[in-house]
Structure 1
Amino acid sequence: MPELHPPFAPSFPIRSLDDVRRLEQRPLAEALPVRSTYEILRNSAQAFGAKTALSFLPDAAPGTAPLRWSYAELLAGVHQTANLLHRLGVTPRDAVAVLLPGCLDYHLALWGGEAAAIVQPLNPLLSDEKLISLMKAARATVLFAWGGDDDAGYWSKALRLRAQLPALRTILRVAPLGETATPAALPDGVLDFAAARAAEPDDRLVSGRQIAAEDIAAYFHTGGTTGAPKLARHSHGAQVFTAWACVQLQGARADDVTINGYPLFHVAGVLPGTLAALSCGMETVIPTPALFRNRAVIEHYWRLVEQHRATVLSAVPTVLAALANVPVGAADISSLRFCRTGAAPLSPELSARFERISGLHPHESLGMTEMAGISTITPPGVTAPAGCVGFRMPYSQLRIVALDAQGGASDTELPPGETGMVLFKSPNLFSGFVDPADNAKAFTADGWLATGDLGWIDGEGRLNLTGRSKDLIIRSGHNIDPKVIEDALGAHPAIQLCAAVGAPDAYAGELPVVFATLAPGAAPVSEAELLAFTAERVDEAPAKPKRVIIIERMPQTNVGKIYKPELRAMAAAAVARDIAEALCREHGADPAGMQIANEGDQRIAVTLPAGAAAAFEQALRRALERLPFPSRISRPQ
């Protein structure tokens, strides 16, 4: 058994880069002797025992009694789970996949999986094809699967995956909420998880495994909403460092309580969101299986804070925008002391609006899968402007370099105040992708992680983000930062969320356009008014948007980030429609009979109006061919 150590605790408040450097005065091996996530759980169970580690809310109604697990009960379940996997023949080099909603059992799959093998959390909303590809790449032999279909079709999907994956030997079925009896007959190769783990010892790892810091703990997939997701390898040491660094910079304490609504297939929910909390004795509340995707959780959030005396609020900016529409009312939220956000830059207007509603200043952080979930944090007590994501982690290095001609990282380091690509080296840097071919663009030639994020370092040594290099709008060779446009439009009181992208143009390559959703109850406002409002606040002429488009719903990824590829596709379709309607008027065709569809990756399909003249078709084809996206034209069947 590994040596027991005290649980993590903050050394002293972090208020400056000098404080971060003060932490670094001790050798890292001395400051952080813990090697694995399993050790974290053993240390916390020894220190906190009967104290609540996890509270699960079956529904979002305030007053609903949670299901609670203590630190001792969590460790016992982790032992049982790891021992079950060991009995099933799983080795430390095998992968076990997880297809579950938010639930207590997810934490047995995560931490028991890491104690016995390599855990692979999966986004249940991905297609069967992508899930199969991910599990084949990981060579997963066991799958934890929810026994009901709910909103994501979990069980049906699990059975389809099993039929397509010969290497998948066993499915561990997790009983859905409210199930009173296990189905009489489970298919061959399917075990009832609760019954199977109950037969295992709960006081030790039967395997006797000694986990090293460099052993791989997890495979987390990046992206996957479009294109092929990649599998990032996390070592135990990287995950442990993330937990320790979060505790240090956030001043996390054993008497803290957090409501963790992040999905648990994503690093934010698993590592900064949960492992950090477990490492220092916090209580983590799991708000229903659907987490923040459950509208009732948002609707009742402030009353849930009051009920559970939550002290830490953590959510992505789109969730903060939704919470800013929920009046605090009579709810007592005075227990909240810290609000952390990340995943996307925060607009100044949203930051100010959320602070007016809640009384909490949002503290931004930067996290990414390739750095085990965290790279920089703005600590409590440090008030920073929107876009500032705080200080680097202790023992890490941060550089800003100029972009090369292809928009990648060059060798030219930039001084403080100048914007370029953000590069990192850190103890929680991932161990590379499972497919070595995916590593080529992840690192510079001298081993720095090329994040793709654009940012600059201010006079206090804090990182400030402006966006992603791939999101730059390039107009006639002029690089336009979309955040300049988004901050301008976001200042309008009627705007809930907004995002600027490049619309294809035959001459300039791209022209800036901005999509927006309106705040509930906002006074009526036209697109023309919003365009004028934005143009007044954007100084550079090339960056002034050509159009504002109001939409009902902002497309988002499954973790709440605004999904710009879909907006770029919508912008391409809008350009095609403008061209086609202008030619309809010129040729006397009926635009009402024309259909324009986006086929993905800005590929546009146009179905002509019935009886459209050949001259109209030829003119439209010539006009669309001048645009930098593929298109096809057909006549109605």
Structure 2
Amino acid sequence: MTDTAHTLSTSRTLWDLLDRRAALTPGRPVLLQDDRVLTFGGLRDRAERVAAGLYGRGVRPGTVVAWQLPTRIETAVLSFALARLGAVQSPVIPFYRDRETGFALRESKAAFFAVPGVWRGFDHTEMARRLGARGIFEVYGPGSLPDGDPAVLPPPPAEGTSVRWIYWTSGTTSAPKGVLHTDRSLIAGGSCLGHALRPAPDDVGSLAFPYAHIGGPDYTVMLLLYGFPAVMLEHFALPGALAEYRRHGVTVAGGSTAFYSMFLAEQRRRPGERIVPTLRLLAGGGAPKPPELYHAVVREMGVQLTHGYGMTEVPMITMGAPDDTAENLATTEGRPPDGMEIRIVDGEVRLRGEAVCQGYLDPAQTADAFDADGFLRTGDLGRLTAGGHLVLTGRLKDVIIRKGENISAKEIEDLLAAHPAVGDAAVIGLPDAERGERVCAVVEQPPGTEALTLGAVTSYLRAAGLAVHKLPEQLELVDALPRGDTLRKVLKYKLRERYSGTVK
């Protein structure tokens, strides 16, 4: 971490961080979208005027404001305006509909709700009215944010340890939870990301995932610490997004494993051509990364890939560094920063540190989530190497118990990922009267490949050295695995629901 970034990482609040960065490099760009450029100084000044406009509408320190907005410059401005006021923000993923959005509004008791009007063919304003949301206002583009005189504002918040953020778990299980964060926990998460990636001022990043995801502030904090810009994309799809990446000279891209796979697939359609000539690094987290995917990206795209480990409850836990060894980058999630304690208890990864959330809206969920020493139970299984790198070996819920033997779904998935006829795979345990659970592999194949058979899959896994008792007993081929709308994680609970009644 540079001296400047280290100094800025001690900022008391997110507003303090923005104010200090704007004083250092007011004219440097921070957010790029289409033909628009917003500088650090412009972000601070515009956010303060919007804060005054919100104050005039009745938003005060501690007021709960929910917002369900796409990845736009206006979304970042609104968020920093609320940070200037010391309001409590409840970001809602814009792909969520009545069930998830209504749950978030009810549980957070939001007094105001910002929506994008009609976005991608869906009327968010109508949904907000249908749900009985209070204080609805639309944020749809330039000029849509309230404006006022900053002279009316009270002083900005003096401390960053109060809960001012309610994030919602991403939905890989069927019931979301409201996760409580502070400004300081978000700054700590972004500091971990920046410390590992060490971006330079002439880098250009990309925000290609929902800004309402926990990764939004994580990435934005890194921009503020290191003083470089990022391209904002409302919707990420390839090859459509490539024009914006090339236009702005993006050097750092990514998001999650699904993003890497999409870039790699597009590169394979154009052998011998760099799809983004300026790109030097893919980086992300949020979902497991098969080692073979790392090697394929480096080999075929000619860029480095660094992967990290984070969750809604802890925005950044570990991160791979570009100068780490290929072995560590392929097989581990990187190392934790100073201040992040990792403890392995009965195979489970547990965490304590400033980036860890304060708990959940539901006190009972908070009590269940932390152990007696204050460590967060992640539900992830892993181990630490002698060099301090974290290796994730699966989820507690992804341990398949077949005839009393524990089987890691991730081990099988990593082996399947190297098969040329496998685009992606999810391995689940299904109820079985004889075995307790049986191993089921659900496979998404690349277009044009011959359909796999169970026999071909088990023969391949045997040749790869997988123990016989771990071999799948059921194979399901799907056009597309069910995924969440944020970082495109596979929703295994939907697969269990779909196939639990099948007998093979």
Tell me which amino acid in the other structure corresponds to 1:243. G
Paired with 2:502 and 2:299, the residues of 1 have a C-alpha distance of 36
Deviates further, 100-109 or 304-313:
304-313
* 2:6 is the counterpart of 1:37: no
Output aligned runs, 1:84-99, within 5 Å.
84-99=53-68
The answer to whether the 8 Å contact 2:70/2:212 transfers is no
SS at match of 2:53: helix
What displacement does 1:246 show?
Answer: 2.4
Match of 1:490 in 2: 417
**3-state DSSP class of the match of 1:351?**
helix
1:373-412 matched pairs, under 5 angstroms: 373-383=315-325, 384-402=328-346
Letter aligned with residue 210 of structure 1: P
Secondary structure of residue in 2 paired with 1:391: coil
Match for residue 316 of structure 1?
256
Q: Secondary structure at the match of 1:573?
A: coil
Rounded Cα–Cα distance in structure 2 between residues aligned with 1:330 and 1:350: 19
Q: Cα distance 1:247–1:348, how it changes in 2: closer, same or farther (>3 A)?
A: closer
Residue 91 of structure 1 deviates from its aligned partner by 2.3
User: Offset of 1:201 from its aligned partner?
Assistant: 2.3
1:377-417: CA deviations, max 9, x gaps?
11121132434011112122111111xxxxxxxxxxxxxxx
For 1:114, give the aligned amino acid: A
Residue 211 of structure 2 is aligned to residue 272 of structure 1: no
Query: Structure 2-normalised TM-score?
Result: 0.92
Q: 1:31–1:226: structure 2 CA closer, same or farther, 3 Å change rule?
A: closer
Tell me if the contact between 2:250 and 2:278 (Cα under 8 Å) persists in the aligned partners. Answer: yes
Match of 1:201 in 2: 149
**How far apart in 2 are the matches of 1:430 and 1:237?**
10
| RMSD, aligned α-carbons | 2.3
Structure 2 matches for 1:188-587, cutoff 5 A?
193-194=144-145, 196-197=146-147, 200-201=148-149, 206-224=153-171, 226-268=173-215, 270-287=216-233, 289-290=234-235, 292=236, 295=237, 298-327=238-267, 330-331=273-274, 333-371=276-314, 373-383=315-325, 384-402=328-346, 420-522=347-449, 525-559=452-486, 560-575=488-503, 578=504
The AA in structure 2 aligned to 1:141 is A
Residue-by-residue CA offset, 1:22-52 (whole Å, 9 max, x unaligned): x9xxxxxx88431011011111211221221
Q: Please, which moves more after superposition, 147-156 or 459-468?
A: 147-156
Distance 2:462 2:11 in 1: 54
Determine the structure 1 residue equivalent to 2:129.
159
Give 1:225 shift: 5.7
> Which amino acid is 1:98 matched to?
W
CA–CA distance in 2 between the matches of 1:128 and 1:568? Answer: 24
Distance (Å, rounded) in 1 between the aligned partners of 2:421 and 2:319 = 30
Contact 1:83 1:207 in 2 (8 A): no
Decide whether the 8 Å contact of 1:484 with 1:538 is kept in 2: no
Counterpart CA distance in 2 for 1:527 and 1:51 is 56
Counterpart CA distance in 1 for 2:260 and 2:117 is 32
- Structure 1 residues 426 and 208 mapped into 2: Cα distance closer, same or farther (>3 Å)? same
Q: 1:315 to 1:474 in 2, by over 3 A?
A: same
Q: CA deviation at 1:303?
A: 4.8
Contact (CA 8 Å) 2:305, 2:329: kept in 1 or not? no
| Shift in Å, 1:540 | 2.2
Does structure 1 retain, via aligned residues, the 8 Å contact 2:84–2:157? Answer: no
Structure 1 residue aligned with 2:2: 10
Larger relative contact order, structure 1 or 2 (CA cutoff 8 Å, min sep 6): 2
Separation in 1, partners of 2:379, 2:47: 37
The Cα offsets for residues 62-102 of structure 1, whole Å up to 9 and x where unpaired, read as xxxx3221112211221122222222222222211111122
Contact 1:12 1:248 in 2 (8 A): no
- Note the alpha carbon deviations across 1:601-628, whole angstroms, 9 max, x for none: xxxxxxxxxxxxxxxxxxxxxxxxxxxx
Asked if the contact 2:430–2:437 (Cα under 8 Å) also holds between the matched residues in 1, the reply is yes
Contact 1:254 1:280 in 2 (8 A): yes
Aligned residue for 1:441, secondary structure, equals helix
Tell whether the 8 Å contact from 2:193 to 2:222 is kept in structure 1 after alignment: yes
Identity score, percent: 25
Give the gaps of 5 or more residues in structure 1.
Answer: 1-8, 14-22, 24-29, 58-65, 178-191, 403-419, 579-637
Can you list the C-alpha shifts for 1:463-517, whole angstroms capped at 9, x where unaligned? 0111111111111222110011112221111111011001221121111111111
Contact 1:98 1:109 in 2 (8 A): no
Match of 1:114 in 2: 83
**CA distance 1:272–1:370, change in 2 (3 Å):** same
Are the aligned partners of 1:387 and 1:466 in contact in 2 as well (CA < 8 Å)?
no
How many angstroms does 1:444 deviate by? 0.7
CA contact (8 A) 1:442 1:449 kept: yes
Contact 2:52–2:149 (Cα < 8 Å) also in 1: yes
Query: After superposition, what is the alpha-carbon deviation per residue over 1:218-244, rounded to whole angstroms, capped at 9, x for unaligned?
Result: 110113465331111111111122223
Residues in 2 aligned to 1:305 and 1:359: alpha-carbon distance in whole angstroms? 16
Unaligned runs of 5+ in 2: none
SS at 1:444's partner residue? coil
Alpha-carbon deviations, 1:522-545, whole Å to 9, x = none? 355444322321243253222111
AA aligned to 2:117 is: G
Q: Which amino acid aligns with 1:561?
A: K
CA–CA separation in structure 2 for the residues paired with 1:110 and 1:149: 19
The structure with the larger Rg is: 1
Contact 1:82 1:205 in 2 (8 A): no
Deviation at 1:262, TM superposition (A): 1.4
Instruction: Give the direction of change, closer, same or farther, for the CA distance of 1:286–1:205 in structure 2 (3 Å limit).
Output: farther
SS of the residue corresponding to residue 199 of structure 2 reads coil
Tell whether the 8 Å contact from 1:109 to 1:119 is kept in structure 2 after alignment.
Answer: no
Report if the CA contact (8 A) 2:21-2:224 is conserved. yes
Distance 1:12 1:530 in 2: 52
SS in 2 for 1:364: strand
Could you tell me which of 120, 128, 139 is aligned with 1:150? 120
Alpha-carbon distance in structure 2 between the residues aligned to 1:449 and 1:331:
42
- Scaled by the length of structure 1, the TM-score of the pair is 0.74
Larger CA deviation: 151-160 vs 482-491: 151-160
Q: Is the 8 A contact 2:187 2:218 kept in 1?
A: no
Cα shift at 1:343 = 1.1
